[in-house]
Structure 1
Amino acid sequence: MKKTLISVITSVALVTSLIGCKKDTKPVDVKPGGPVTLRLVMKDEGNSNPVAVNYFKALEKGLKEDEGLDVKIELVDMPEGNYAEKLNLMILGGTIPDIIYFQGGDQQISQQGLLEDLKPYIEKSKNLKSSMFAHNTERINNYPYLLWVKPLSQKAPVIRQDWFDKMKTSKALAENPTIENYYNFLKELKDNPPGGAGKPAYGITVAGSILEIDNIFDMAFGNTSTWLKDGSGKYVYSKITSNEKEKLEFYSKLYKEGILDPQFATKKWDTKEKAFFSGEAGVISGTAGKVIDIYEGKMKKADEGSKGLVVLPPAKGKGQGLGATDVTKETRGVAIYSKSQNKETAFKVLDYLASPKGQMLDRLGFENEHYKVVDGKIELTDKSQEWYARFWEPSEFKPSTPLKSSLLGAPGEKSLKMTEEYYAKDINILIPEQFTAKWDAMQNLYKEYSADIITGKKPISSFDDFVKEWNKAGGEEITKYANENIK
């Protein structure tokens, strides 16, 4: 017993001595009894996803080694279905994680005071403030609850290069992407499939709404911003204008001729992608940059004969672009629960992810799997196209070990350049709380009428009925508000 006691005292003294001699040890932010536990919810990043589990374990390790933060990140699993709806139900039911990724539906939550104002944190941040794009700064100033440091997130259309190269209408589309030339291109895809009989079965597919096809055609039909000035100089909502009527008539033509995916209104993102990679659809839209890069990697994996992807230009007409950039707020992003006991620590995690070491994980993935260090340079592996940043993608990424090549392939790079080339600032307003219910009803009214017009359930003349109903449902009030508040 005496020997054991002496042994224990000696061991403690030795450990104490070693700790005392260790240099540059950072203080660890711990609570009594263990690390700070942060609950986090993010689309597709649950405990059933092994890549997500390994990612957040690596993040915990980096936080402790680089910042002295002892943090345990607990992933909150979400049920299948519409993420925004399921998340709101969970939050309104009283289950609110410390860090929340929103993909819509956040305004209802922020209006209840449940989301933290991030501006003071960003102002004092070590990394995030200097990492933000100009549109991020404008959005956080207008709506300080949601942060998403990414390049402009417009969606760009793509097609397989081997199919593009075979088509007779490709050259005309590339040189002069008028609405007529786009129609001829999509019609050739349907009527003379470049992949052989039935490939593709239709020209273009989208996920559950016309938003992705709008990215190609909206500005060409004159919808260059959410609110447009009419002949009298007053603002009018673009979705009730003659531009919109003309556009819906065009979409109806695409649907009637079998060019537009007949299941466009119900398609989910995964079945949309499956249709593209299997050769069922000719054109698909993906978020510019990394998503386009991932699509190219998936296409090459799905079909060894594929040469990759070609990024198509937006249609040209009354205007041209991939859609105006709304700076009223982020459409998706990360928030912090305002009543969390660990708000400071939660933001430190977000700030670390914008640091050089945090970016090594977030942008590159796992060493020896998504990249290797060869001859003193970072060399991307074939699996790198499967990786995407869970959080931030600042424009400048300068790891301590230099990159051998660009993080993106040629289509990903081209799509990003295209968003910059066609950048246009939107004219829009945040809908105030007193109009939220009416605005939601008006949006649903638009979705109903537009879907019925496109599928032929209603004639194009019913668009005039829609405009009348839209105004009665609150359009007149909100239009008056918009004219008083658009700066």
Structure 2
Amino acid sequence: MKKALFAMAAVVLVTTTACSSGGDKSTNTSAPSATQNGQAVTTVSILAKDFAPDDPNVQKLVKGIEDGMKAEGKNVKLQITPVQSGTYSEKMGLLLQSGNIPDLIYFQGGDYQFATTQKILEDLTPYIDKSKYVKASMNPYNIERMKNYPYLLWLSPVSSAIPVVRQDLMDKTASGKAALENPTIDNYYTFFKELKEKSGAKYAYTTAGNLDELDAMFGQAFGLTTTWLKGTDGKFTFGKTTQSEKEKLEFYAKMYKEGLLDPEFLTKKWDTKEKAFYDGQAAIMAGTQGKVIDLYNSKSTAQNGAGAKVVPLPPAKGKGQGYTPVDTSKESRGFAISKTSKNKDMAFAVLEYMASPKGQMMDKLGFEGSEYQVVDNKIKLTDKFAAWYPHFVESVISFTPDKEFDPTTPYFSEPAAKSLKLFESNSTKDNTFIMPADLTAKWDAATAVYKEFAADIVTGKKTGADFDKFVQAWNAAGGKDVTDYANKTIK
């Protein structure tokens, strides 16, 4: 299922046209907590990752939200709920378990028990249905996820890995152009070999600790078009236990043996992966479409010159074509509103304001005179912009700044915009589902069996001849029970 809307707005961002701003004028039914200049003030408590009370940028953003909403008739005071340092999802969970439940809560995992077991998260569907700006900022996958799990709202592009190659290294090959024009598995293999032989890179592709970023390019080409594949008998089988997976892993093993895959791919972290790319040891790595690709491009050109800009690569084509299928069972992160909140309407009004043109300008760009300047009636980003990032709305579907960007400082570089456009035309929906609590341990055990086998076959410790034994072990670890559930659940 091909998806539109994602990149179209991003490509236009370099030359966006003006758009008027407005706010949600719905009546505030929240309980006022104070008065300010004769106006009722509603305090909305907020808990969010990277939203520290002592962060100057956060302080500036909070004041901007309060001032902006007040100008539109909603007098709100944001009260930041601090969270202890450490793993955010764990510390946040402990805070909520203690009974300290803010009005507006950002989750990054750990939300399921609060939504389905403790039932303390509000169904956001009625709020979204009445909204103007939140609704306009949702992509088709956001909409699908909200239907399946209406407790988390995350106005962001899908977090999908897109492979990129350094332009300067690709230019040293004769096969790069053919791979871009006709990205078959064989053409990519030829391209990888030439990158290793002629570009100066030690290996073609690097990943951070697993095969997921390699699967983004090759998974669907080997027939792994969804997590659960439907057989001729009408039953679903876990894709990673099928012949398609065996063929894919054998191809990866070939890459590894011939030095085309980073020999340290299992131990690489995100920072060492990126360093290998910027230093020219690896020619290709994958990163999230949009802003991450933008970051890769700026770092690569800063270290190696303008010729080292990154070039987003299309997914390989074969039995299928597409990047990693998109999980639409639920948002993996996002904002929730507490069922116990007395300020639900105002809490959502904050999200609605941040999705408005004025809110998105502030959330994405910061403030005029600091993170950007207006020069010759164009938005020119400053050095301070590098330390600013959106907290509420990463999506650019409805991002329409009131002025064009200076061409020397676009919001998205050309490679970043292209990565969004490639994802738009090569994204497909997955058939994953929310794992029930009684199967979670079995699923984790079966997944561990797969990861160990995949690593062993790619590094040559095992071969395709061991695949049937792996499938048996996967089923015994809990995979069979999960498969039975999948066949009852997937429509």
Q: TM-score, normalised by structure 1?
A: 0.83
Q: 1: distance between equivalents of 2:400 and 2:328? A: 28
What residue number does 2:454 align with?
450
Q: 2:134 aligns with which of 115, 119, 128?
A: 128
What residue number does 2:163 align with?
157
Q: 1: distance between equivalents of 2:259 and 2:83? A: 39
**Partner amino acid for 1:286?**
G
Contact 2:446 2:474 in 1 (8 A): yes
| Deviation by residue 1:65-109 (Cα, 9 ceiling, x = unmatched) | 44533323426456456x556655665676655444334443344
SS of match in other structure, 1:253 = helix
Cα distance change on mapping 1:275 and 1:342 into 2, 3 Å: farther
Contact 1:96 1:337 in 2 (8 A): yes
Q: 2: distance between equivalents of 1:53 and 1:275? A: 36
Q: 2: distance between equivalents of 1:183 and 1:55? A: 48
**Partner amino acid for 2:241?**
I
1:362 paired with 2:366, answer no
Q: 1: distance between equivalents of 2:241 and 2:285? A: 27
Greater relative CO (CA pairs within 8 A, separation 6+): 2
Q: Offset of 1:349 from its aligned partner?
A: 1.5
Q: 1:62 aligns with which of 59, 62, 68?
A: 68
Contact 1:297 1:385 in 2 (8 A): no
| Deviation by residue 1:238-274 (Cα, 9 ceiling, x = unmatched) | 1111111111222223333333233333433333333
What residue number does 2:378 align with?
377
Worse-superposed segment, 286-295 or 219-228? 286-295
Q: Offset of 1:233 from its aligned partner?
A: 2.4
Contact 2:373 2:381 in 1 (8 A): yes
Q: Offset of 1:215 from its aligned partner?
A: 0.7
SS of match in other structure, 1:159 = strand
Q: 1: distance between equivalents of 2:465 and 2:91? A: 37
Q: 1: distance between equivalents of 2:367 and 2:285? A: 29
Contact 2:442 2:482 in 1 (8 A): no
Cα distance change on mapping 1:375 and 1:156 into 2, 3 Å: same
1:101 paired with 2:106, answer yes
Q: Offset of 1:319 from its aligned partner?
A: 0.9
Describe how 1:8-27 pairs up with structure 2 within 5 A. none
1:110 paired with 2:115, answer yes
What residue number does 1:209 align with?
210
Q: 1:74 aligns with which of 80, 102, 119?
A: 80
What residue number does 1:345 align with?
346
Gapped regions of structure 1 (runs ≥ 5): 1-23
SS of match in other structure, 1:220 = helix
Q: 2: distance between equivalents of 1:307 and 1:260? A: 21
What residue number does 1:238 align with?
239
How many residues matched? 456
Rg comparison, structure with higher value: 1
Q: 2: distance between equivalents of 1:96 and 1:281? A: 46
**Partner amino acid for 2:116?**
Q
Q: 1:397 aligns with which of 388, 395, 399?
A: 399
Aligned-pair identity (%): 49
Q: 1:428 aligns with which of 419, 427, 432?
A: 432
Contact 2:246 2:467 in 1 (8 A): yes
**Partner amino acid for 2:147?**
N
Q: 2: distance between equivalents of 1:249 and 1:88? A: 42
**Partner amino acid for 2:469?**
D
SS of match in other structure, 1:156 = strand
What residue number does 2:265 align with?
264
Q: Offset of 1:364 from its aligned partner?
A: 2.1
Q: 1: distance between equivalents of 2:365 and 2:31? A: 27
SS of match in other structure, 1:111 = helix
What residue number does 2:184 align with?
178
What residue number does 1:419 align with?
423
| Deviation by residue 1:159-194 (Cα, 9 ceiling, x = unmatched) | 2211211223212211221222222322333343x2
Q: 1: distance between equivalents of 2:264 and 2:339? A: 41
Contact 2:170 2:195 in 1 (8 A): no
Contact 2:31 2:343 in 1 (8 A): no
| Deviation by residue 1:442-478 (Cα, 9 ceiling, x = unmatched) | 2222222222332334333333222112222333333
Cα distance change on mapping 1:45 and 1:251 into 2, 3 Å: farther
Q: 1: distance between equivalents of 2:83 and 2:208? A: 23
Q: 1: distance between equivalents of 2:208 and 2:101? A: 29
Cα distance change on mapping 1:120 and 1:233 into 2, 3 Å: same
**Partner amino acid for 2:353?**
Y
SS of match in other structure, 1:469 = helix
Gapped regions of structure 2 (runs ≥ 5): 1-24, 36-40
Contact 1:29 1:70 in 2 (8 A): no
| Deviation by residue 1:90-145 (Cα, 9 ceiling, x = unmatched) | 65676655444334443344332243221122123242123222221111011111
1:188 paired with 2:189, answer no
Q: 1: distance between equivalents of 2:189 and 2:323? A: 17
Contact 1:292 1:412 in 2 (8 A): yes
Q: 2:145 aligns with which of 112, 117, 139?
A: 139
What residue number does 2:9 align with?
none
Cα distance change on mapping 1:335 and 1:456 into 2, 3 Å: farther
Q: Offset of 1:37 from its aligned partner?
A: 5.1
Q: 1: distance between equivalents of 2:318 and 2:176? A: 18
Runs of 4+ off more than 6 Å: 26-29
Contact 1:41 1:97 in 2 (8 A): no
**Partner amino acid for 1:281?**
A
SS of match in other structure, 2:221 = coil
**Partner amino acid for 2:176?**
S
SS of match in other structure, 1:39 = strand
Cα distance change on mapping 1:460 and 1:104 into 2, 3 Å: farther
Q: Offset of 1:222 from its aligned partner?
A: 0.5
Cα distance change on mapping 1:306 and 1:61 into 2, 3 Å: farther
Cα distance change on mapping 1:453 and 1:115 into 2, 3 Å: farther
Q: 2: distance between equivalents of 1:370 and 1:376? A: 16
Q: 2: distance between equivalents of 1:122 and 1:115? A: 15
Contact 1:147 1:334 in 2 (8 A): yes
